[in-house]
Copies of this chain bind each other. A is one copy, B any other.
Amino acid sequence: MPVVALLTDFGSQDHYVGAMKGAILTVCPEASLVDLTHEIEAHDVTAGALALASAFRDFPPATVFVAVVDPGVGSPRRALALEAGGYRFVGPDNGILSLVMAEAEGAQAVHRIANAALLRPAVSATFHARDVFGPVAAHLARGLPIAEVGPRIDDPVRLAQPALREVGPGEWEATVVHVDRFGNLITNLFGRDLDRILAAAERDLRDVVVVVEGEILPLARTYADVPEGEGCALLGSSGRLEVAVHRGSAARMLGAAGGSPVRVRAVGTVL
């Protein structure tokens, strides 16, 4: 059964996710539908892009992802289909697919959805998840080659990402890009960035400390490496540095939030 995974900002109190699923099953009745999340903050394209990029590698090859955070629905913004990393993605051309583009390995192709035969007979001006993206994803799940959706383009919208900033010898400033349900602070620093920082400073992982809101935290392997109620940093399950408190909420205990700076010191110096 082909897998179609869904990410939106539709929430769960309305019928919108259900209607989109109905539209997908109308085209591809054998699809196995999986919810990635529908609780992206309304209109928060960046948060949607991040969740999608954090999860796509965990799915079976050939999974089709539908990502719809789409405040510009009905405007002339383009609709896209992307092939990357052995997966397919559909969504509006507002950057929601751009972190996947930045992270996926191997060849990529971006197409503008233009083949009206793939869409719902009457396309509304306000619900392209149901009328455009869902049906196109369903056709891809049934095996349609991506080139059939429309012409290839080379200028998709890409989101600006907060950059890592060198703030001293062997010291870098990262940024909290997401706070998860447990209060873990997910940053824009990947394991490969840390490797690079350590190599440049001729240090290893034991020398790293992380500073958040004035607190100096050790780098650990997992939450349980520190006592209950104490904080640590670690390389999380999506490959990003995150700050956590064992059986507690780092966001609450440290007073940090999205946008908060997180300093990584490879020098092992004490303040």
Instruction: List chain A positions with a Cβ less than 8 A from chain B.
Output: 1, 3, 5, 7, 10-23, 25-26, 29-30, 32-40, 42-43, 51-52, 54-55, 58-60, 63, 71-75, 124-127, 130-131, 180-182, 221-225, 234, 236-237, 246-247
Q: Which of B3, B35, B63, B124 contacts A237 (CB 8 A)?
A: B124
- Not counting A75-B224, A124-B236, a sample of 8 additional A-B residue pairs whose C-beta atoms are within 8 angstroms of each other reads A1-B29, A5-B18, A5-B22, A7-B18, A13-B39, A13-B181, A15-B36, A15-B52
Q: Please measure, in the bound complex, the distance between the C-alpha atom of A123 and the C-alpha atom of B10, giving whole angstroms.
A: 32
The 8 closest A-B pairs by CB, nearest first: A74-B222, A127-B237, A75-B224, A22-B59, A18-B36, A125-B222, A11-B181, A15-B55
- What are 9 inter-chain pairs, A to B, with CB distance below 8 A? A12-B35, A13-B40, A14-B181, A18-B58, A29-B60, A33-B34, A42-B182, A71-B247, A125-B234
For A60, give its contact among B22, B52, B124, B222 (CB under 8 Å). Answer: B22
> Contact: A14 with B221, CB < 8 Å?
no
Judge whether A126 and B29 touch: CB under 8 Å: no
Shortest distance between the CB of A138 and any CB in chain B (Å): 11
Q: Decide if A26 touches B125 in the complex (CB within 8 Å).
A: no
Task: Give every chain B residue within 8 A of A19 (Cβ-Cβ).
Answer: 54-55, 58, 237
Is the Cβ of B39 less than 8 Å from the Cβ of A32?
Answer: no
- Docked complex Cα distance between A247 and B30 (Å): 35
- Would you call A18 and B223 a contact (CB within 8 A)? no
Give A131's nearest chain B residue, CB to CB.
B237
Minimum CB–CB distance from A93 to chain B (whole Å) comes to 14
Pair B13/A58 contact, Cβ less than 8 Å: no
Given the contacts A15-B36, A19-B55, A126-B236, A224 and B1 also touching, CB distance less than 8 Å: no
In the complex, chain B residues whose CB is within 8 Å of the CB of A131:
237
Question: Chain B residues near A236 (CB, 8 Å)?
Answer: 124, 126-127
